[in-house]
Copies of this chain bind each other. A is one copy, B any other.
């Protein structure tokens, strides 16, 4: 009995897509082997692998993004090795110290738009072989980033080239990878991501699943013993079928990408209207996360009927808020928000 018109707070406010519920119902009494060795997980892996021709990928399903990140990083790094991340990277400030709790330093780099560039990585080379310094060994990026921005193929290729030259791993957090791959102007494919990184994960939680992320490992060095890490970190579900079945549905007939395209379209449809009201964005809108900069009084009014995050104060009177659309966001909710913003703008500008 929410008192809000709509939650633009995140892309995990709803339950799951109907196809998933239908599949859960149809398979409820089928007996399956546990711990990921079920038929549905096998089917899901096959569907994903069809998008990665020529790659020998190991695929593992886990229940959440922090879990995916901490296990991949812990499995990849020796205790003195560190992972490089944008300051805004999810692992740097949004996972409760999960990476440090695994024993690894996050080397945080300030960026303008959440994207890491090669020029920012070079200074880390001075740490190499210095015994008092942690030894960078992995670069962590998110696509879309935590600011909704999207890597181009050229940008990802440049990072990949740098990492390979150093013998570092490139790991991509794909909690919103479907949104990135369906963003306007994107020139990356899932196969490109597999080609240019050593490991990545594809988010289910933020793309229509009840829960679940699919970790894809292409670098053989990172494959060894991965199931043991999963078990040891409490990430191996007895009913692994629950994760496999959902990814089977999401990757059947491109569903996951259709859902992401929907979310992107909903958000980007609001951009022109917001700009026409005279507002700017903290970062250029590119996917299903928008960061409009609004005056404080208007934010306070909007907050009475919409749920969203205050992201960052821009100046004394303006703050960037975050609006997120999901696979389930109806056009009507967006229209209503734009109408309300228009009205508030008129009220407060007088």
Contacts and interface: CB of A to CB of B under 8 A. Distances in A.
A122 to B, nearest CB: 15
Given A28-B21, A31-B7, A225-B78, A12 B205 contact: no
A34 B15 contact: no
Range of interface residues on A (Cβ < 8 Å): 35 or more
A58 interface: no
A241 interface: yes
A189 interface: no
Interface stretch (A46-54, A59-67, A249-257): A59-67
**How often does this chain occur in the complex, in copies?**
4
Contacts of A230: 131
Contacts of A80: 96-97, 101, 225, 228-229, 231-232
Contact of A66 (B24, B65, B228, B236): B236
A234 interface: yes
B14 A30 contact: yes
Contacts of A237: 63-64, 205, 211
A225 B82 CA distance: 13
Interface stretch (A132-140, A157-165, A177-185, A291-299): A132-140
Given A102-B103, A131-B231, 12 more contacts: A10-B34, A14-B28, A15-B30, A21-B25, A80-B96, A80-B231, A95-B132, A95-B231, A95-B232, A96-B134, A101-B232, A103-B103
